[in-house]
Amino acid sequence: MKLLITGAGGQLGREWVDFCQDHGVSYNSFSSTELDITDDDKVDKIIADVAPDVLINCAAYTKVDDAEENKQTALKINAESVKELADVCKRHNVKLVHYSTDYVFSGSISDKENNPEGYKEEDSTDPVNAYGYSKLKGEEAIKNSGCEFLILRVSWLCGQYGHNFIKTMLKLGSERDELNVVNDQFGSPTFADQVVEQTFELLQQNKTGLYHLSSEGITTWHHFSKEIFKQKGINVNVNPVSSAEFPTKAKRPFFSKLSTQKISNVDGVPILDWKAGLQRLLKQL
């Protein structure tokens, strides 16, 4: 299996490069500066030259708050360019792996009550911010393209590379004795190394369609931060606060838990509890 990885300089892309090197998987990788996925002609040429079996698209516009003021840029990268990727993959008979987000859902408190185990793949989407809308349009474009695909939704992504909540908390915990952290947003972290391992297993089994990748269990940002400090032995007083105390340009869903029921039915795909996943990542860091 020969892979072509886009967005290889990002949190998930760098994890993919590590995985391929560690497991002897044939790959070509391009950071977003080396390959701008909005450059349709260059994308087509590289896919034709590399001739991969699978395109792993890790390139995306991920600045959630900035997307509110840059809606067209978010749509161009997360939807229009993804449509072109899917069309190119269709022409060259390449399977497309694309990562999406929990933000395609409304994340309402009533949804939390109706879906205690988390959103399932077939649940209705209804994004509440521009970023989520752009990612949903990308999903729809892939589904309508006729290409062979895997769309994998992740939530609260954390890994050893790039910026994420765990790294932010570790930095703040080393600087302060007391922190205020939101306690009315519910979800579960998804760990980048597990995402890559699970995706590769799905590819090995020639799976297609839409899957949710996340950890078992549910938490809040407040509880998550307390567990980070507990596992690291850092003494910080963490106060629970409401989202209203941290106003943001983009509305955040109150409920982001993705159900792991479908992926758990795939043989050979272990799913860790979020606390175990955190422990594994903290060792890597």
Question: Which residues are tagged catalytic?
Answer: 131
Contacts of 254 (CB under 8 A, 6+ apart): 107, 108, 109, 112, 184, 185, 186, 243
Cα 153 to Cα 198: distance, rounded to the nearest angstrom: 12
CA distance linking residue 73 with residue 96, whole number of Å: 22
Q: Residue 71 contacts by C-beta under 8 Å, 6 or more apart in sequence?
A: 130, 134
One-letter amino acid for residue 123 of the chain: D
Quick one: how far is CA 256 from the chain centroid? Answer: 12
Element (H, E) at 12: helix 11-23
Nearest to 260 by CA among 202, 215, 194, 206: 215
Interstrand relation of 186-187 and 219-220 (parallel, antiparallel or unpaired): antiparallel
Dihedral, 112, 116, 121, 123 alpha carbons, nearest 10: -50
